[in-house]
Amino acid sequence: MRSTTVSQSPSSVAQAEPLLEVQSVTRSFGGVRALTGASLAVPRGRICGLIGPNGSGKTTLFNIITGYERADAGRVRLDGKEVTGLAPERIFAMGVGRTFQITRIFARLSVLDNMLIATQRRERWWRSMLRGAGSAEEVERAMELLRFVGLAGHARALAGELSYGQRKLLELAYVLVADPELLMLDEPAGGVNPTLIGQLAERIRELNEQGKTFLIVEHNMELVMSLCDQVSVMSFGSVVVTGPPEEVRADPRVLEAYLGLDDEEDDLVESGGGTSGGR
Ligand SMILES: Nc1ncnc2c1ncn2[C@@H]1O[C@H](COP(=O)(O)OP(=O)(O)OP(=O)(O)O)[C@@H](O)[C@H]1O
Ligand SMILES: [Mg+2]
């Protein structure tokens, strides 16, 4: 459970206007209706969870919010501003950092160089690599973030040599370089060992106490229920329930969302690695 100090800190008091607001978003891929009118509000300063069975549309919703996919209909507002259809770099520049279900790190570059690419994200990364990326301050900042996620000792290692969980932590450090206000994490704990999951949860809490808002897609129910202030449940392309974790856990519509799938095996995961499928 979250400590009361978190909700009392001035930066994390929810304001009337949500930081992120998604309204009736639809998206089809050929005959597949991935989103069927998804709506969601993420209050500022909160840790919000987004759960739902495999294929219910969570990643597609993330892709639309962050500009990687276009919505067929509906709108996305960030801090009250319409951002529907903007390119990923624009959304990123507006303070939205996101990680991917399948990590997107450069396996053949060192951990530190991956971080320096993030610091140089506004110019072409190969240009910055050519001119010998990284001023002393950039390297120091990158190392500070690597220390924060527990990867400083691996700074010179190739990113491809990191364990799966360490790659997820590197991705978190990578998005933190831009100091985003909203962090959207797609299955941060999927396939990650319990020790690193604990470390990840601690880092998320700490960042939240510093005022950062989170939207987290995750199959690990233990993590979601212990970390989140608010949980939304997706089923067949729309959000069917939103509420505090303990209410959501007891809501019959949630069980229905999961068990309504006939021969699927993706039951609620009570602990451990999660069921990481898809992209
Ligand atoms: N680019 C695409 N082309 C075709 N179909 C797609 C595409 N992206 C998503 N889909 C389909 O849309 C539906 C929703 O997929 P999505 O990846 O958003 O689900 P998810 O909730 O993230 O699932 P998971 O928990 O397995 O990651 C699925 O039926 C998926 O196959
Ligand atoms: Mg997904």
List pLDDT tens digits, range 226-267: 999 999 999 999 999 999 999 999 999 998 888 875 444 444
67 with 10, same domain?
A: yes
Say how far apart CA 49 and CA 243 lie, in whole Å.
10
Q: What percent of the chain has pLDDT over 70?
A: 82
Kindly state if the Cβ of 54 falls inside 6 Å of ligand 1.
yes
| Beta carbons within 8 Å of 263's beta carbon, 6+ residues apart | none
| Predicted pLDDT at 103 | 80
Ligand 1 atom 17 nearest Cα: 59
Predicted confidence (pLDDT) at residue 269 exceeds the cutoff of 60: no
What is the whole-number distance in angstroms between the Cα of residue 237 and the centre of ligand 1? 9
Q: Which ligand is nearest to the CA of 238?
A: 1
| 159 falls within a domain | yes
Class of residue 148 by CB neighbours under 10 A (exposed 0-12, middle 13-18, buried 19+): middle
| Predicted pLDDT at 123 | 53
Ligand 1 atom 6 nearest Cα: 29
Q: Which of 113, 146, 177 corresponds to the end of one domain?
A: 177
Ligand 1 atom 11 nearest Cα: 34
Look at the chain and report how many structural domains it folds into: 2
> Which atom of ligand 1 is nearest the CA belonging to 61?
18
Q: Judge contact between 233 and 248, C-beta under 8 A.
A: yes
pLDDT band at 13 (very low <50, low <70, confident <90, very high): very low
Mean pLDDT on 99-112 = 90
Mean pLDDT on 67-71 = 97
143 with 83, same domain?
A: no
pLDDT per residue as tens digits for the range 126-181: 555 665 556 888 899 999 999 999 999 999 999 999 998 899 999 999 999 989 99
Predicted confidence (pLDDT) at residue 109 exceeds the cutoff of 80: yes
Question: 121: domain range?
Answer: 105-177
165 with 201, same domain?
A: no
